[in-house]
Structure 1
């Protein structure tokens, strides 16, 4: 007499739900990154993927418990659903942790935002009102988000800023270089986060031939929470700029000195003029 061992239906559904949750997460992120769906639809799709992943995790645990008691087949299916469910829930757990660690803010700047306007694109003009931090909250959460002043000329500092923006791979949308009259120089660059949210960074450089001041703004264009990205971006960028300026001044002690005409050149010009007068006579 043969004893038939049945396959647990719980394990079958566990694998099915896990197999659905994975594509839901990947497809929704891909569509959002390529702007094939709006941010509102992306939130709906992400919520649906989270619910399916939770269901896969729950059903997998139930399946494993029943398999332990009944001895039915389906261990591989239940474990597959469990792994898929955990993998799909990992991004939600990560961003949930960031949401608890950082306040809900979408726009951070070292100075008045009116001095560093964003470059709006079609479709972002109706972005939600920015969520801001108070001065006390800024000092507590992002203490290094502060204006930088360097003993280095505006042109040289702006060159360092431009190099750092390029190294970060940001998409430059506006480039206003320094002028002979030392007007404000500015770079607007757009950054895309992994889930497809778009954020804009603005770096403003003012100063003279020997000193410069750097301010920065970072704002989310279509998100309701930046999960700390804007504040951390400013802190990381300005810290890297501090290192770049320090290295430049260490390796070139006279880098912050304006170019002056050497006395011998002036003497040479006077001798040339005197020779010309003698020849003319």
Structure 2
């Protein structure tokens, strides 16, 4: 009987290691495939869920055999340790995401102008009808954004709109964002919007970006909007993207013209 129980313990530990390895390989393969466009985002999210479930199963299998391996010295300790370690590594990104979701406001569409945000036109083709891409951001969402991200504001520059637009396009290209269509010349249009698709750093989740350059005569005003394509909580990514982009725009225009934003 003791030999049989020891075999069962070793078998559970072995399955823990094998399941954890499969979960890790599945996670990495799916992440790489999604980044290079080989897997669509909905399918990628489903695979991530499967990888998390497998990692949890691996931990449960490890827990089954842990007591006997620890207290009675049954065989399977190495497999048990490997299974637990790999499963925990796979679950770390999910734990971080859960924490960020808990501390971040339930927002996925951020704009420097919440009353009349830069519209998505070309980008709207790839978004679901449930995603509000044209209408103003709701009053409750706008209030929550203002309270949480007061630094998300537009910029006014003492330069021609053509120069502001050229600098915006250069920064978009530098970031590797995909532009849906080159905008019209700012000299013939008082308001030009650049639409692009950005992706998160690690898992490449897509967000649509709209940057509006308004010609005010002697100055140019820049508004920016960033909206996630999937999920109701962007974990703060869209606000961070807007702030980082506009800060870089401030720096670039200051270097080019020796000026700073008016407000």
Normalised to the residue count of structure 1, the TM-score between the two structures is 0.76
Q: Which residue number corresponds to residue 279 of structure 1?
A: none
Are the structure 2 counterparts of residues 158 and 179 from structure 1 closer, same or farther at C-alpha, using a change threshold of 3 Å? closer
Q: In the alignment, is the contact (CA less than 8 A) between 1:201 and 1:217 conserved in 2?
A: yes
Count of aligned positions: 249
Alignment partner, residue 141 of structure 1: 148
Work out whether residues 178 and 184 of structure 1, in 8 Å CA contact, stay in contact via their aligned partners in 2: no
Deviations 1:66-92 (A, max 9, x none): 212111222221111112101110111
Please state how far the C-alpha of 1:29 moved relative to its aligned partner.
3.6
Tell me which residue corresponds to 2:252.
244
CA distance in 2, matches of 1:38, 1:211: 40
Q: Return the match for 2:98 from 87, 96, 99.
A: 96
* 3-state SS, counterpart of residue 110 of structure 2: strand
Aligned runs of 1:1-281 on 2, under 5 Å?
Answer: 8-30=10-32, 32-33=34-35, 34=37, 36-37=39-40, 39=42, 41-111=43-113, 112-113=115-116, 115-120=118-123, 124-130=126-132, 134-193=141-200, 194-208=202-216, 210-250=218-258
Q: Deviations for 1:254-276, whole angstroms, at most 9, x for unmatched residues?
A: xxxxxxxxxxxxxxxxxxxxxxx
How much has 1:202 moved relative to structure 2?
0.8
Change (3 A) 1:43 1:101: same
- Consecutive unaligned residues of structure 2, counting only runs of 5 or more, are none
Cα RMSD for the two superposed structures: 3.0
Structure 1 unaligned segments of length 5 or more: list them. 254-281
Distance 1:146 1:95, change over 3 A: same
Q: Quote the offset at 1:115 in angstroms.
A: 4.2
Higher mean C-alpha deviation, range 230-239 or range 179-188: 179-188
CA gap 1:109/1:76 in 2 versus in 1, 3 angstroms: same
Q: 1:151 to 1:205 in 2, by over 3 A?
A: same
Residue 189 of structure 1: CA displacement? 0.8
Contact 1:15 1:56 in 2 (8 A): yes
Q: Which secondary structure state, in structure 2, belongs to the residue aligned with residue 18 of structure 1?
A: helix
Task: Give secondary structure in 2 for the equivalent of 1:174.
Answer: coil
